[in-house]
Structure 1
Amino acid sequence: MVAWAVAFVAGWLVIGLPTDPAYAFLWIWAATIAWHSRRPWRSHLRFARDWVPVVSLLAVYNLSRGFADNGATPHAMELIVADRFMFGWATGGEVPTVWLQEHLYRPEVRWWDVLASWVYFSHFVVALAAAAVLWLRDRPRWAAFMRRWGFLCASGLVTYFLYPAAPPWWAAQNGLLTEVARISTRGWKAFGMHGAGNLLNAGQIASNPVAAMPSLHTAFALFVVVFFLRSARRRWWPLLLAYPLAMTFTLVYSGEHYVIDVLVGWAYVGLAFLVVGLGERWWAARRAPASGPPDGGPRGAEADPVADPPAVPATR
């Protein structure tokens, strides 16, 4: 495991943090091999077999959302109006992103910039890492996790095609907002880790700039927390629930999303649990074995309510 950690840090500093699904999967797979090095290779190969379809779908998702705008003018003003309607009374009529950057953004990197960069990066690995742990410890729960996560990703992708929406930094570049800096990766510079965000910065340049609604960053964060919440001790709930809130602050402050994007993303999480849960119950009921005899005849005492009383032994 020490060798894996050293290799990970070296790759992080030279290549960049693993924000690509395939690259992140390779590191997670290597971590499971290092952690369970005594397991037979068949077990490690089964991990790859089960995960290749998942990683392939995530890669297709990342690529396809880049075509979601189809050259159409993205929605922006209605998102600005929504945020101003909800928070303008407290921000002097500004959207929360502009207000936060006016009060917190400085040319020099501050501690909250560092925290924001790490929280932003966690989006790319937390769900995958949680799923990897489930695969190792509880395969049925892993399958349940993947069904809900897949539904969430698919719902977000469909929305990107139907409703291409621009983030605050795009609106500022096009004159719809005052100046907004895109600062989600600047925190790593405080430690001289200029290469840490190489892959992430490249991905941001190549990705679809109008895939803001819903915010799947906050949706993923809330999804992971909600999935594990019932199995966690209540004293840990505040810490767990702080994660999606920290992601919300990061995305709004860094110019990546409006608050309305976040709220819709949270609604999609609820929809994923509701729809997939109903589907699972329907499927379980459909596949439940028939409780009656194979020929469909009557069952036991229910079939003959006037059954003979039990025999009473004769007395001498």
Structure 2
Amino acid sequence: MTTFPAPRAAPSEPVADARLRRRRRLAMTCWTAAFVAGWLGIGLPIDPVYAFVWLWSAAIAWNSHRPWREHLRFGRDWLLIVLLLVAYNLSRGFADNGATPHVLELIVTDRVMFGWLTDGQVPTVWLQRRLYDPDAIRWWDVLVSWVYFSHFVAALAAAVVLWLRDRDRWAAYLRRFAFLCLAGLATYFAYPAAPPWWAAKYGLLEDVARISTRGWSAVGMHGAGNLLNAGQLGVNPVAAMPSLHTAFALFVVVFFLSTTRRRWWPLLLAYPLAMTFTLVYAGEHYVIDVLVGWAYVGLTFVIVGAAERWWRSWSAQRPQHPVGEQTGEPTGLVGVAVGGGHRPGAGVEVDARQTE
């Protein structure tokens, strides 16, 4: 009588979870090492395509156990978004159309609002006279450089996390993100405005240094800002109103605030405030630019939220189709635009439903 060995039992769930965690730690460690090497050798990933490559590779590393068709779906879902960001960056460079930028009214507005606190100076001049030393880099200069850089990755990194966890929220996030981008771009065309460093360069304001990237040299990262400095030279210098840097910082916080435990709220809300200090101190924006940027965030949530409610109401009134019949429900990138899209977590491993 021939005997056969008993079939090997499938690994228990805790064992499988432990293997997945070890695999993710190894993959993310390799990704981090490659990212740091690229950062030091090439520069910070501020270009949308370059940043997308790193974000896509991070998603692959985190979900390396998933089939490749899932990773290819990431590229498909994000392709139009990356192209829109590239077009947005290029179009900013033409927003002024050769017109004389608005400067004096921004200076006057900041002086009227804050002159009683800053001895009649605009806040940028007041801060730099007290905190900026051209011969020495302080710890806050290093912090300013990190906060400034976060603008180029925070909003996109949050979108990647949403794509991995909940596709419906990812689509809702991107609808608001795209609306905020387009609203800012339209304003740049309608109202080209110059930042404090530009006004100082042309003698319209006291000396203001552009110091948003100087902090990295203090920690030995001399090449970290190469791409960022080159990018600053290539974009439109009179696209200061509104400040989308601080608008995106507030946007990310507001989007996640309702699903975040209240004990973390002070930490989250500190981020747009830190971005505000960074932009004003570094000579990138006036305070009025920041306030208008915050107002744009509020309008974005109101307008897009109203459009989504209208879409749901309209969809509910459409005739119901039998099961299995084509309904014409939008999916993919079209669904992102009009409110449809993927089911929550479709085809991905859902790690959590709430930001802790």
TM-score by length of 1: 0.91
1:52 alignment counterpart: 79
2:136 matched residue in structure 1: 108
Correspondences of 1:256-271 after superposition (within 5 Å) = 256-271=284-299
1:152-231 paired onto structure 2 within 5 Å: 152-231=180-259
Match of 1:279 in 2: 307
CA drift of 1:41 comes to 0.3
One-letter amino acid matched to 2:205: L
Q: Which residue of 2 aligns with 1:23?
A: 50
For residues 130-145 of structure 1, the aligned pairs below 5 Å read: 130-145=158-173
Q: In 1, distance between residues paired with 2:318 and 2:70?
A: 36
In structure 2, the residue corresponding to 1:90 is in which secondary structure? coil
CA distance in 2, matches of 1:290, 1:196: 54
SS of alignment partner, residue 115 of structure 2? helix
> Structure 1 residue 2: deviation in Å?
1.3
The separation in 1 between residues aligned to 2:116 and 2:182, in whole angstroms, is: 35
Q: Which runs of 5+ in 2 are unaligned?
A: 1-27, 321-356
Letter in 2 for 1:253: Y
Q: d(CA) in 2 for partners of 1:90 and 1:190? A: 31
SS of structure 1 residue aligned to 2:84: helix
CA distance in 2, matches of 1:247, 1:35: 29
- Counterpart in the other structure of 1:242: 270
CA distance in 1, matches of 2:62, 2:114: 47
Question: Does the C-alpha gap of structure 1 residues 291 and 58 become closer, same or farther in structure 2, counting only changes over 3 Å?
Answer: closer
Note the aligned Cα RMSD (angstroms): 1.4
Q: Distance in 2 between matches of 1:34 and 1:95?
A: 46
Hey, what's the Cα distance between the residues in 2 that align with 1:108 and 1:14?
Answer: 25
**Aligned residue among 48, 52, 63 for 2:90:** 63
Q: Identify if the C-alpha distance between structure 1 residues 170 and 288 changes in structure 2 by more than 3 Å, giving closer, same or farther.
A: same
Instruction: Tell me, in whole angstroms, the C-alpha distance in 2 between the residues paired with 1:275 and 1:118.
Output: 32
State how far apart, in whole Å, the 1-side matches of 2:147 and 2:157 are.
15
Residue type of the alignment partner of 2:171: A
* 1:151 to partner: Cα distance: 0.2
- The residue number in structure 2 matching 1:2 is 29
Tell me if 1:117 matches 2:117. Answer: no
How far 1:290 moved relative to its partner?
5.7
Alignment of 1:280-299 (within 5 A): 280-289=308-317
The within-5 A match list for 1:23-102 is 23-102=50-129
Structure 1 gaps, min length 5: 293-316
Letter in 2 for 1:240: L
Larger Rg: 1
CA distance in 2 between partners of 1:94 and 1:59 (Å): 37
Q: Distance in 2 between matches of 1:231 and 1:138?
A: 13
